[in-house]
Structure 1
Amino acid sequence: MLKKSLVVLMLMAAMLVAVACGNNNNGNTDAEGNNQNQDDVNAAAGEGEDSIKIVAAHNQTDPENPYQDGLLEFKEVAESESGGSIEVEVHAGTLGTSESELVESLQVGGADVVLVSPGFMSNTGIREIDLFALPYLFDSYDHWEQTVDGEVGDEIADIILEESDNKFKLVGYWSAGVRHYYGKQPLQSIDDLQGMTIRTQTSGVVADFWNQTGAVPTDVDWGELYQALQQNVVDSAENAYPYFVQQNHHETDNGRYTTETGHDYTTRFLLINNEEFESYSEEHQDIILEAAAASVEAERQALYEQEEEYRQQLLEDGGEINEIDKAPFIEIAEPLQDEVAEEIGVTHLLEQIRDMR
């Protein structure tokens, strides 16, 4: 009898402890004053979500560039807003310095978020995005922003999703600056490009434009361009100040002279693997889209600030800059715009863009 009494007392004591623990919520209450247990608190902080890891990549090897600023902002917002249930791993050129490598990584699952240009994306068969690769399409950053942040940008995003069979989701438009010619000699007129090799895309509308100027588009990997300019592999290249000055291209024999052709207010696509995105919870999807929007703002701001900063650095380093009459270049570009827009079925979008000037 004594043993049975002891057993009963021990069971009663255990029950009292369990009740007390169940009522202990460390003082946490919900908005209506009801108690929350610790699991509810953890879930509210994001710990209740399944953890996911996102690999985000761009092709620039120097981490001091707007691409890196944008992806680091993406990382910060995604991780902080998710309470740590989203981890973002940022790669600066380590998954490939060629944008075609990044697109392939996105396709096969080696990366979840990548930054690519329209020219390389068109290699996937989505021809409509060549619209944003057309030279002299925009005449200012305001014009560019109105376009990509408006109806035209929305329609292109829908096209990318649909024509990639729901594989690629566009989550932001970034800029890579205003592109200019730089080479072994300044351009005084368009005739100076005759027979000159230029590192640029070797297919698509960009290559067509440079071919019509008389230049010879030549394929050189971005990570190898400094050496190619120094060793006379190519006569020239074209890019925006924050990118080629960071890589010291202006200090090479064939990169010393910059002519401000201003032929491209560039567009870059921030893409996410949509199959992965659709597998995330609705909460995680919302956070990723919020992080993408924050990254757009951060990248553009960094780019705009660096345009003048690196232009000035080029001059201080002994590089030379000259202006040129753009009319002959635009005379080549506009018929090319019309031809390509009709071919890829976006004439209506081209007209919208022109009307916003």
Structure 2
Amino acid sequence: MLKKVVMMLVLLTAILVIAACGNNNEEVDNTGAADNSNEEQNNNDQNADAEADDGDSIKIIAAHNQTDPENPYQDGLLAFKEAAESESGGSIEVEVHAGTLGTDEAELVESLQVGGADVVLVSPGFMSNTGIREIDLFALPYLFESYEHWEQTVDGEVGDEIAQIVQEESDDLFKMIGYWTAGVRHYYGKQPLESIDDLDGMTIRTQTSGVVADFWSQTGAVPTDVDWGELYQALQQNVVDSAENAYPYFVQQNHHETDNGRYTTETGHDYTTRFLLINNERFESFSEEHQEILLSAAEASVEAERQALYEQEDEYKQILLDDGGEVNEIDQTPFIEIAEPLQDEVAEEIGVTHLLEQIRDMR
């Protein structure tokens, strides 16, 4: 009997030992399986991240204030869109707004500041409202004597320095990515100008503050604020006597067909500069590759916009004449005699006398 009990105890002990060994082996196998599962998941996560980077895309809102689809601004931004989307293989999408984010340039600057737009086109006068006074240099009347003179300036050291100033004084909010032109501006109004004296007391739609307004005030005219989108009606209804702009811009808007826009006098007072700006905070958030593509697209836009404008200067002057508008020339000397002291005064005030001298030396 005792022998049977001992044998049963031995057998039970053996069974327990075997069972314990089986459990230990199962734990080891499960641990190995878990390690393999974790490794596989990590690899999957890394692959997913890589795929996300490869498929990363951005959307750029680009805007100008002109509503006519034939405007050179539109040509420039469409060239920007085409180059950015093509060079990025579609990972950059550009949405172009022609006047739909505002026909007032101040609205576009505000949109750029608050993130409603990523790329905008604005003039020096409206940009100076942000407190960056140095850019008033490019708003000075009779600063340039030809398109060649203008290009040499903005594409050279002067343009580089102004671009750096814009970025620094905006606390890195604005980045200059291109200089466009809006043509050479002339007077147009209810009567031709035979001499500067004809401007005395005449209301003219132009900027109502800054160096541009000071210039027109000194000619005897009265600077008057009218939104670009409302100017046709203002000229037609005698709200203002005159305005000033380049042929492609005011002829496309049919200003020459109004009672107060029929007569153009080629004052040639401004070879205009326009700033193509990008929100720098957003720009810096992009990958290096996307940044390079956007800068390349900006170069394409500069070339396209300038070419379109130069071709349209003569084209739209002829359209004006064909529509019954009248054009005359005028001695610009009295205008220049007002402009040059104003240039000196403003350049000293805003600390860019050295840049003014560089521009004059390039004539």
TM-score under structure 2 length normalisation: 0.86
SS at match of 1:54: strand
Per-residue CA distance 1:75-116 (angstroms, 9 max, x = gap) = 000001101110000000000000000000000000000000
CA distance in 1, matches of 2:207, 2:118: 25
106, 110, 116: which is aligned to 2:112? 106
SS at match of 1:136: coil
Partner of 2:68: 62
One-letter code of the match for 2:274? R
Per-residue CA distance 1:170-221 (angstroms, 9 max, x = gap) = 0000000000000000000000000000000000000000000000000000
Partner of 2:255: 249
Q: Which runs of 5+ in 2 are unaligned?
A: 1-46
One-letter code of the match for 1:219? D
One-letter code of the match for 2:90? G
CA distance in 2, matches of 1:126, 1:245: 32
Deviation at 1:63, TM superposition (A): 1.3
Deviation at 1:243, TM superposition (A): 0.2
CA distance in 1, matches of 2:201, 2:295: 46
CA distance in 2, matches of 1:100, 1:120: 6
Instruction: Give the structure with the larger helix fraction.
Output: 2
1:179–1:264: 8 Å Cα contact kept in structure 2? yes
Per-residue CA distance 1:46-78 (angstroms, 9 max, x = gap) = 981521000000000111110000000000000
Partner of 2:135: 129
CA distance in 2, matches of 1:189, 1:318: 22
Alignment of 1:1-357 (within 5 A): 48-357=54-363
Question: CA RMSD for the aligned pairs?
Answer: 1.5
1:57–1:93: 8 Å Cα contact kept in structure 2? yes
CA distance in 1, matches of 2:120, 2:139: 18
Give every structure 1 segment of 4 or more consecutive aligned residues whose post-TM-superposition deviation is greater than 2 Å: none
CA distance in 1, matches of 2:186, 2:225: 17
CA distance in 1, matches of 2:286, 2:145: 39
CA distance in 2, matches of 1:123, 1:49: 40
Deviation at 1:154, TM superposition (A): 0.1
CA distance in 2, matches of 1:152, 1:50: 37
Partner of 2:11: none
CA distance in 2, matches of 1:248, 1:299: 21
Partner of 2:13: none
SS at match of 1:220: coil
Q: Percent identity?
A: 88
One-letter code of the match for 1:121? M
CA distance in 1, matches of 2:177, 2:318: 33
Per-residue CA distance 1:226-262 (angstroms, 9 max, x = gap) = 0000000000000000000000000000000000000
Q: How many residues align?
A: 317
One-letter code of the match for 1:263? H
Change (3 A) 1:211 1:279: same
1:47–1:85: 8 Å Cα contact kept in structure 2? no
CA distance in 1, matches of 2:114, 2:80: 22
One-letter code of the match for 1:187? L
Per-residue CA distance 1:303-340 (angstroms, 9 max, x = gap) = 00000000000000000000000000000000000000
One-letter code of the match for 2:221? A
SS at match of 2:54: coil
